[in-house]
Amino acid sequence: MANKAFFLFISLGTLSICVQAQPAGLAFYDNLSTLPHIYPNVESYYLSSYDRTGGNDDGFRGTYSQLYVDDAGQHVIFDEDGPGCVYNLWFTGSGRKLHWGKIRFYFDKEEKPRIECEAKDFFEGRCGPFVYPLVTHSFISSGGFSCSAPITFAKHLKITTERTCGFYNVYYQLYPNTQVEPWHEDLDYSRLVNLFQRCGSNPVTSQTDLRIVSGTFTLEAAGRAGAPEAELLSVGHGGTIACLRINPLYAPDKYALNHINLRVFYDGDAVPAIDVPIGPFFGSGLGEADVRSLFVGMSTSGGYYCYLPMPFRKAVRVALRNNSHDAGGEFFYEIGYKDKFGLGEYAGHIGYLGAKYNRAWPIVEEKDYVLFDYKGRGAVVGQVMTVEPVKPDRKRWWEGDMRIYVDGQDKPRFHGTGHEDEYQGGWSTFWLTNPYSLPLFGEPKTEGLIDVFGQVNGSTTVYRFWPGKIHFKNSIRISTEHGNHNDTPANYSSLVYYYYVPE
């Protein structure tokens, strides 16, 4: 009996450790079915060259383009004790080129960098194993140079540039009291490359025991009787929705896609946990666009998908509601789900998928536009944002900085340098005139572009996903300036994907 009890203790202890230790780096992508798991010891951070005085010198003069210059004359842009992982690294350069020389990565206080490469070669995929689509240059992510290859470190990581780099940002995570295998030159990124290259197909590796429900329905326009609703799925026991696909069998316009709502009810609740327009939910607030992200997407030919897992303990109901008085149309849908919610100790650490839609048409107050303001425990997965100028000459809204406050902190944990930078592009005119869609970020559509005294203005819709998720223990607030010092009115709308643990 004593031996049996000891074995149980060890088993539960091992399981508890598994729950607390989020897979880091490449391991995060190995089993995306665990995306709903909420971990108590994950801390997300964001470094950037934002102007510490509150002005707009975010990289133009290089004032804040490094943390310090070391004894060797290298410009240190990242210097952090581990264990941790850098999930994303971004720069932009004058003339859409990088002129600051070499980038170097020093691990665990080593004198010699494990990674050393000319910046131009690094982001053009000539510094293996950093290849496309893990790295992108300015003609792929439209003005930006981005690296989405996760770089883990066990004890310490320092990243330097040879000369002042100008604009930059780094998204990274720290994992207190855990063990992380540091980056080494034999690391194989091939599975992640394959995952990024097949966006649009289900990224979750295990599809066994998946139940498929599909069909067609006609969604009528809203009328005096109210908003018509079509039920797509109703399950009366615990499980997990693994994939959701819909295909309008007609050509919905931007207005329709912002007024037909996806509604998801968990565990018999009368109020939906998700009640959001399908356009933004599938990646575009400007109507149909070619969105090919890892987790959600759509195409101008009509196929929309969501691969964010949706666990439920007792029941789930999924429906579409037409809040538009314009004509509706016929839809095809397909939902794949499993009859499994979670096992043992994992159950208390599994979040439910939520999606929050906000809008301000327009925002004119001299305060941040708020994408998300939530009290509770959970983790943010990503966001979609759409901006439409109120007048052609009211430009430079893109100078607004993103700010993310975690767990009630007075100072933002994330502070950006402008819309195009935060969505991994660069230089407003080039950015707006060259839409792009990549696995973790994109600007899939712009419209109404007009030249205003040599600078293009127009509407845009953008998205970004945060690998590892931005965990919060009791609250999170995501906001952005509209223009420098919130001085530019514009129509803002947004959708935030997140997992939450019910009270």
Tokens of 224: 């005096």
Q: Comparing C-alpha atoms, which of 93, 202, 203 is closest to residue 141? A: 93
DSSP-derived secondary structure letter, 224: T
Rounded Cα gap, residues 242 and 203, in angstroms: 10
Query: Could you tell me which residues come within 8 angstroms of residue 264 by beta carbon, excluding any fewer than 6 positions away?
Result: 272, 273, 274, 275, 310, 316, 317, 318, 353
| Cβ atoms of 351 and 378 closer than 8 Å | yes
Which DSSP string corresponds to 281-347? HTT-SSSS--EE-SSEEE-TTS-EEE---EEESS-EEEEEEE--SS--EEEEEEEEEES----GGGG
393 SS3 class: coil
| Cβ atoms of 480 and 376 closer than 8 Å | no
Domain 14-197 has CATH 3.40.50.620: no
- Indicate if 207-350 has the same CATH topology as 14-197: yes
CA 112 vs. chain centroid, Å, equals 33
Give the model's pLDDT for residue 93.
85
Give the model's pLDDT for residue 205.
62
Domain spans of the chain? Answer: 14-197, 207-350
Tokens of 488: 């530019």
Burial of residue 49 (CB within 10 Å: 0-12, 13-18, 19+) is: buried
Q: Comparing C-alpha atoms, which of 165, 75, 228, 155 is closest to residue 417? A: 165
Burial of residue 468 (CB within 10 Å: 0-12, 13-18, 19+) is: buried
Give the model's pLDDT for residue 227.
82
| Cβ atoms of 92 and 427 closer than 8 Å | yes
Rounded Cα gap, residues 342 and 336, in angstroms: 17
Strand duo 84-91 + 102-107: pairing = unpaired
Give the model's pLDDT for residue 325.
85
Domain 207-350 has CATH 2.60.120.1390: yes
Tokens of 304: 């929309």
Give the model's pLDDT for residue 5.
30
477 SS3 class: strand
Rounded Cα gap, residues 166 and 1, in angstroms: 66
Tokens of 315: 């029941």
Which residues of the chain fall short of a pLDDT of 70? 1-20, 205-207, 342-348
Which DSSP string corresponds to 52-121? TTSSS-SSSS-TTS-SEE-TTS-EEEEEEESSEEEEEEEE--GGGS--S-EEEEEETT-SS-SEEEEHHH
The alpha helices in 163-253, defined as continuous H runs, are 190-197
Which DSSP string corresponds to 244-290? EEEEESS---HHHHTTEEEEEEETT-SS-SEEEEHHHHTT-SSSS--
pLDDT in tens, 289-307: 999 999 999 999 889 999 9
Give the model's pLDDT for residue 209.
83
Q: Comparing C-alpha atoms, which of 432, 436, 324, 356 is closest to residue 387? A: 432
Burial of residue 226 (CB within 10 Å: 0-12, 13-18, 19+) is: exposed
Query: Could you tell me which residues come within 8 angstroms of residue 163 by beta carbon, excluding any fewer than 6 positions away?
Result: 75, 99, 100, 101
